[in-house]
Structure 1
Amino acid sequence: MIPLPKDLDPYANPRAFYGAELRRLREAAGLSQNELGERVFCSGTYIGLFEAAERRPQAEISRALDELLGSGEHLQRLCRLARTSKVAGYFADAAELQQRAVSIAEYSSMVIPGLLQTESYARALTRAAHPYSSGEIIDGHVRTRMERGSLLDSPTPPVLWVIVHEAALRVPVGGDAVIAEQLDHLHTQGSTRPRVVIQVLPFSAGANPLLDTAVTLMHFADAPPAAYTESAYSGELVEDTALVEHISSAYDLARASALSPEASLSLIRSAAKGHATDAHLP
C-alpha cells in the first residue's frame, strides 16, 4: 500500500485535495486501502496512488467510491477538477504515466513519436490535425508537446525504445526542410543518448500486428505495466493485464522484424540527407 505522504498539502492542487478527501472518507468508513479497493474492483495500491496524488482519479472509480462511501457526487466533482490537463483528455492519463515509467516502448507507423519531435515538426503535425484552429491554440499544443520532451532530460530519464515505420521517414511533414531537421534530431537522439534506442521497421518487413496503429508500452518500478493505443483523434489507456501482454507480444514481433539500431540510424541519416537535398532543389 502507498499511504498519503504526511507532507502532502491537500490544498496544493485539485488532485491532492481529491486524495485527502478520499483518505478522509475511507478512514471514516473504517476501511483499509486494500478493503476499499476490493469493494470497487481495483487494488489497494491503486487507492493508495489516488490518495498520494500520484495518479489522476478516474471517473468510473470515483462514481463507485461515492456510492460505496455515501458521499453523494463529492468525489466525482473533485475528479472533474483533478482531471484538467493541457493535453488531450484521451491522452492525459498516459502522459502522466510516462512521467513515472522506468521504461517506455513506442511504435509509430506514420509519424515520429512525440517525445522525439522537433518544434517545427510538431507544429506542422498540429496544424494538419487542427486546420481551423487559431495560431494561439496551435502554439499551446506545440508548447505542451515540447514540455513533454523534457522528460528525457530529467535526472532519471526512462529507457525509451522507439520503433518507427520507414513510412515516417519518407512523408515530408512540414516540407523537406522540416522533415530533414526532424530526422537529424532523431539520429542525434539515438546516437548520443544511451537510454534511447531507435529502430526502423522497413517497408520490406511487410505486414505486422501494429501496422495500423500507434502503441506505447510503459513499465514501472512499483506497478504493473500499462499500454496506450492511439488513432487520429482518440486514444485508450490499457491496464488489463492480459491485453497489455498481448500488445507487448505484438511489439516484440515488430521489434524482431525491425532493422538493428545501427542500421536504423544509418537509414535515418540517409533519409535526412535525401530530404535536405530535395529542400534545396529549385
Structure 2
Amino acid sequence: MELEPDDAKPATPAALLASRAARARRNSGLSLRLLGEKVGYPHTYLSRVERGEQLPSVQLAEALDEFYELDGLMAELLVVVMSGEVPTYGQKVLDVETRAARIQTFNSSVIPGLLQIETYTSALFKESMPGKDAEKVALLVAKRMHRRAVLETKTPPFYWAIVDEAAFRRPIGGPAIMSEQIRHIADTIEANSNVRVQVLPFKHGVHPLLGGSLSLLTLRDGLTFAYVESFASGTSIEDPAEVLELTTLFDIARERALDSGASLVLMRKYLKEYEDETEA
C-alpha cells in the first residue's frame, strides 16, 4: 500500500514542489507505479520526490510538467528551490556545472560533492553546520543529491577528481557509511567511463593545493573558469591568467597523485578496513 505525503500546507519552496507533485498524481488517479510506467522513471524515485526526500532532476520536472500539463510549474519551482540558500559565491558554479563539458576538481578533506552518497552528505552537514535546523540540513542534502544527476545525463561531462587520502581516512558518519561511500565511488568508476578518480596519498608529502578545494569547469566552447573554496567562503575566477595559474597547480597535484589503478587499490584498502570495523 502506498503512503501519501503529508497534506499540511508547505512552508518552503521544496515542500511546495513535493506537495504539488503528489497532488497532481492523486488528481490523475494514478498510483506511483503506474505513473512511473507512463513517464519512464522508477516509482521509488517518484515516491521520494513526493515525500520531499529527493529533488527531481530537471528532466523529471519537465516530464511531469508535460504529463500533467502544468505549463512549466514543476520546472519553475525546481529553479526556485535550487537558487535558494546558496551562497552568492557558489551560485555560478551550480549554473555552469550543468553545462560543463569537463569538470576537474580537487578536494583536500572530504569526498567531492558529485561523488557523495546521501548518508555521507547528511552526516557531513549535520556535524559541520551546528545551529542549522533539521529541515534546512535536509534541503541542503537534497540539493547536493540533485547535483549528482549531472553525471547521469545522456551527455555527461568528463569528470576528473583528485582526492587527498585524508578524505578516505576521515570516518564521516562512521565505518558503515564510509564503506557505502567508497563502494559507491568504485561502482561509479566502473560504470561510467567519463569518471576518473585519483588519490593523492600521504606518502607523497606536500602538494600545492593543501587546505582547500578547487574546481575547474570547462564549457563546450572551451571557456574555463575556476572556483576556489575554503572554510565558509569561496571565489569564482574567470580571469584567464588566474585560471591558467590554478590549472597548473591542479596539474602538479594530479602528477603527484596515484594513477587510476593504484588509487582504486588504496580505496579498496580503506573499504576493507571500514567493513572490518562494521562487522566487529
TM-score, L = length of structure 2: 0.69
Q: Distance in 1 between matches of 2:158 and 2:181?
A: 21
Using the aligned pairs only, state the percent identity.
Answer: 37
Look up the match of 2:130: 131
- Structure 2 counterpart SS, 1:215: strand
Q: Which amino acid aligns with 1:269?
A: R
**1:36-77 C-alpha deviation (Å, 9 max, x unpaired):** xxxxxxxxxxxxxxxxxxxxxxxxxxxxxxxxxxxxxxxxxx
* CA drift at 1:280: 2.3
* CA drift at 1:88: 3.1
Q: Distance in 2 between matches of 1:246 and 1:214?
A: 15
- Structure 2 counterpart SS, 1:104: strand
* CA drift at 1:84: 4.1
* CA drift at 1:189: 1.1
Q: Distance in 1 between matches of 2:99 and 2:84?
A: 17
CA contact (8 A) 1:225 1:244 kept: yes
Q: Distance in 2 between matches of 1:237 and 1:188?
A: 31
* CA drift at 1:129: 2.0
**1:123-171 C-alpha deviation (Å, 9 max, x unpaired):** 0111122122211111100000000001111111100000001111110
Answering whether residue 203 of structure 2 is matched by residue 204 of structure 1, we say: yes
Counterparts of 1:173-192 in structure 2, within 5 Å, are 173-192=172-191
* CA drift at 1:100: 1.0
Q: Which amino acid aligns with 1:94?
A: V
Look up the match of 1:61: none
Q: Distance in 2 between matches of 1:180 and 1:87?
A: 29
C-alpha change, 1:86 and 1:100, in structure 2 (3 Å) is: farther
TM-score, L = length of structure 1: 0.68
* CA drift at 1:119: 0.1
Q: Which amino acid aligns with 1:191?
A: E
* CA drift at 1:85: 3.5
Gaps of 5+ in 1: 1-80
Look up the match of 2:249: 250
Look up the match of 1:266: 265
Divergent runs of 4+, >6 A: none
Look up the match of 1:195: 194
Q: Distance in 2 between matches of 1:223 and 1:89?
A: 24
Answering whether residue 149 of structure 2 is matched by residue 150 of structure 1, we say: yes
Q: Distance in 1 between matches of 2:185 and 2:109?
A: 15
Q: Distance in 2 between matches of 1:233 and 1:153?
A: 29
Alpha-carbon RMSD across the aligned residues, in angstroms, is 1.5
Q: Distance in 2 between matches of 1:248 and 1:138?
A: 33
Look up the match of 1:235: 234
Look up the match of 2:23: none
CA contact (8 A) 1:107 1:216 kept: yes
CA contact (8 A) 1:102 1:219 kept: yes
* Bigger-Rg structure (1/2): 1
Q: Which amino acid aligns with 1:230?
A: E
**1:82-101 C-alpha deviation (Å, 9 max, x unpaired):** x9445333211111111111
Q: Distance in 1 between matches of 2:190 and 2:209?
A: 25
CA contact (8 A) 1:163 1:201 kept: yes
Q: Which amino acid aligns with 2:149?
A: S
Q: Distance in 2 between matches of 1:181 and 1:129?
A: 20
CA contact (8 A) 1:87 1:144 kept: no
CA contact (8 A) 1:105 1:162 kept: yes
C-alpha change, 1:280 and 1:89, in structure 2 (3 Å) is: farther
CA contact (8 A) 1:85 1:92 kept: no
Q: Distance in 2 between matches of 1:161 and 1:223?
A: 16
How many residues of Structure 1 are paired with residues of Structure 2 in the alignment? 200
Gaps of 5+ in 2: 1-79
**1:196-220 C-alpha deviation (Å, 9 max, x unpaired):** 0000000011111101110000111
Q: Which amino acid aligns with 2:134?
A: G
Q: Which amino acid aligns with 2:125?
A: T
